[in-house]
C-alpha cells in the first residue's frame, strides 16, 4: 500500500507567503538579479500587508500597470513617465550621478529623446522651417572637472517648442525639429541658435494622467533644453538646462529641476552688436558643462519617431 508523502509545509496564513516566495527564487544564477528581486518581493509584500488592498483595489492597480504598456508606442513611453512622476527616475539619477567630483549635475532623459538628431555646424539654428518664437542664442564650453577644455565633445540637444510641444507631439513641426548634434571646437566651445522653449504638461491622456488628476497635481514641467554631452574618456552627461521662474522649478511634476542647472538667461530688447543679425527681442543663454573621466555610455532612445 503506497502512502502519500506528507508535504513538509504549506502556506497556512499571510505571514508564510514571503518566505515561500523567497525560497522558490533561491536558485537564481545571477547574484545581482537574486539580490534585486529578493528585495523587491520583500518590500512589495510588506507594502501589501501594510495597505491591505481589497480585491477590487488589487484588480484596479493591475489594470493601471497594464495600461502603462498599452499607452507605450514609438512616440510615447508611459512606463518611463510613470517612473518620472513617482520620483523613481530622479532617485535613480541621484544615486548614480551625485555631482560630488565637481561635474555638471545630470537630469532625467525623459521620454522624448530620439537618437537620430541631425548633425549641425557651430551656430546652426535647430528651429527649422521658420518655427515661430523668440530666438535664443545659446553658447558655452565643455571642460573636464579641472577646467581643461574638451575639444570634439559631442552635444545632442533637444527641446520643446515655444508652445511647449516636442516635434513628435506636434503635426505642425517638421520631423526632427528642435533637435541637433553639435561638436566643440579646440577650446571646448559650442554654440547654437534656437527658439525659447516653453514649459509644458507631460502627456495626460493615459494612466499617468489619471493618477495626476486623482492627486490634484499640476502636470507641468518648467522650460528647459535637454543635452547629452559626451567625449572619449569621459562619463556621458545626460542633463537639462532650465529657464524658468522659481515657482515653476519647484513644481516640476517629475522632480527634475536642480538649482545648479538653472541657465544664465538674458533678454535683449534692442539690437546688440555681439549678436549680429539677431532681431530683438531675443534671448542669449550660456552654460558650461563639466565632465568627469569615465567611459562613454549612451541611453537607448525611449521613442523612435512620431505617430500622427
Is residue 84 within the footprint of ligand BEZ (CB under 6 A)? yes
> Which of Fe ion, ligand BEZ, none binds 257 (CB below 5-8 Å, type-dependent)?
none
Select the residue interacting with ligand BEZ from 181, 221, 234, 290 (CB under 6 A). Answer: 221
Number of residues near Fe ion (by CB under 5 A): 1
**Cβ at position 198, least distance to Fe ion in Å:** 11
180 is a contact residue toward Fe ion (CB under 5 A)? no
Nearest residue to ligand BEZ, using CB? 110
Among 8-16, 21-29, 34-42, 108-116, the segment contacting ligand BEZ (CB under 6 A): 108-116
Of the candidate residues 153, 165, 202, 241, the single one contacting ligand BEZ (CB under 6 A): 202
Binding span for Fe ion by CB under 5 A among 72-80, 110-118, 133-141, 170-178:
110-118
- Does 244 interact with ligand BEZ (rule: CB under 6 A)? no
What, of ligand BEZ, Fe ion, none, does residue 103 touch, CB below 5 to 8 Å by kind? none
Per DSSP, the residues of the chain read ---PPPPS----SHHHHHHHHHHHTTT-SSHHHHHHHHHHHHHHHHHHHHH---HHHHHHHHHHHHHHHHT-BTTB-HHHHHHHHTTHHHHHHHHH---TTSPPPP----TT--S-PPB--TT-BSS-TT--S-EEEEEEEEEETTS-B-TT-EEEEEE--TTS--GGG-TTSPTTTTEEEEE--TTSEEEEEEE----EEPP-SSHHHHHHHHTT---EE--EEEEEEE-TTBPPEEEEEE-S-HHHHHT-TTS---GGGBPEEEEE-S--TTSTTPPSSEEEEE--EEE-BS----PPPS--S---
Our CB check for ligand BEZ shows the closer of 108 and 178 to be 108
Site for Fe ion contains 302 (CB under 5 A):
no
CB of 157 to ligand BEZ, least distance (A): 13
- Sites of contact with ligand BEZ (CB under 6 A): 81, 84, 108, 110-112, 202, 221, 254
Amino acid at each position: 500500500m503506497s502512502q502519500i508523502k506528507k508535504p513538509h509545509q504549506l502556506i497556512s496564513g499571510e505571514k508564510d507567503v514571503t518566505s515561500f516566495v523567497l525560497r522558490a527564487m533561491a536558485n537564481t544564477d545571477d547574484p545581482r538579479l537574486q539580490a534585486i528581486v529578493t528585495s523587491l518581493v520583500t518590500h512589495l509584500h510588506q507594502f501589501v500587508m501594510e495597505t491591505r488592498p481589497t480585491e477590487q483595489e488589487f484588480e484596479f492597480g493591475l489594470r493601471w500597470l497594464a495600461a502603462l504598456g498599452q499607452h507605450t508606442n514609438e512616440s510615447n513611453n508611459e512606463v518611463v513617465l510613470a517612473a518620472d512622476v513617482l520620483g523613481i527616475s530622479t532617485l535613480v539619477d541621484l544615486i548614480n550621478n551625485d555631482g560630488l567630483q565637481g561635474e555638471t549635475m545630470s537630469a532625467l532623459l525623459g521620454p522624448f529623446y530620439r537618437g537620430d538628431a541631425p548633425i549641425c555646424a557651430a551656430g546652426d539654428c535647430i528651429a527649422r522651417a521658420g518655427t515661430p518664437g523668440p530666438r535664443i542664442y545659446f553658447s558655452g564650453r565643455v571642460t573636464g572637472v579641472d577646467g581643461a577644455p574638451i575639444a570634439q565633445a559631442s552635444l545632442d540637444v533637444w527641446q520643446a517648442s515655444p508652445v511647449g510641444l516636442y516635434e513628435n507631439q506636434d503635426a505642425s513641426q517638421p520631423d526632427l525639429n528642435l533637435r541637433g548634434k553639435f561638436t566643440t571646437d579646440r577650446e571646448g566651445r559650442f554654440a547654437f541658435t534656437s527658439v525659447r522653449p516653453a514649459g509644458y504638461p507631460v502627456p495626460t491622456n493615459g494612466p499617468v494622467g489619471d493618477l495626476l488628476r486623482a492627486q490634484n497635481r499640476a502636470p507641468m514641467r518648467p522650460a528647459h533644453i535637454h543635452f547629452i554631452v559626451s567625449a572619449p574618456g569621459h562619463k556621458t552627461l545626460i542633463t537639462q538646462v532650465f529657464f524658468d521662474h522659481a515657482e515653476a522649478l519647484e513644481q516640476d511634476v517629475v522632480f527634475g529641476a536642480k538649482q545648479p542647472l538653472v541657465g544664465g538667461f538674458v533678454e535683449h530688447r534692442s539690437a546688440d552688436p555681439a549678436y549680429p543679425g539677431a532681431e530683438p527681442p531675443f534671448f542669449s543663454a550660456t552654460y558650461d558643462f563639466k565632465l568627469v573621466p569615465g567611459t562613454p555610455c549612451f541611453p537607448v532612445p525611449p521613442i523612435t519617431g512620431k505617430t500622427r
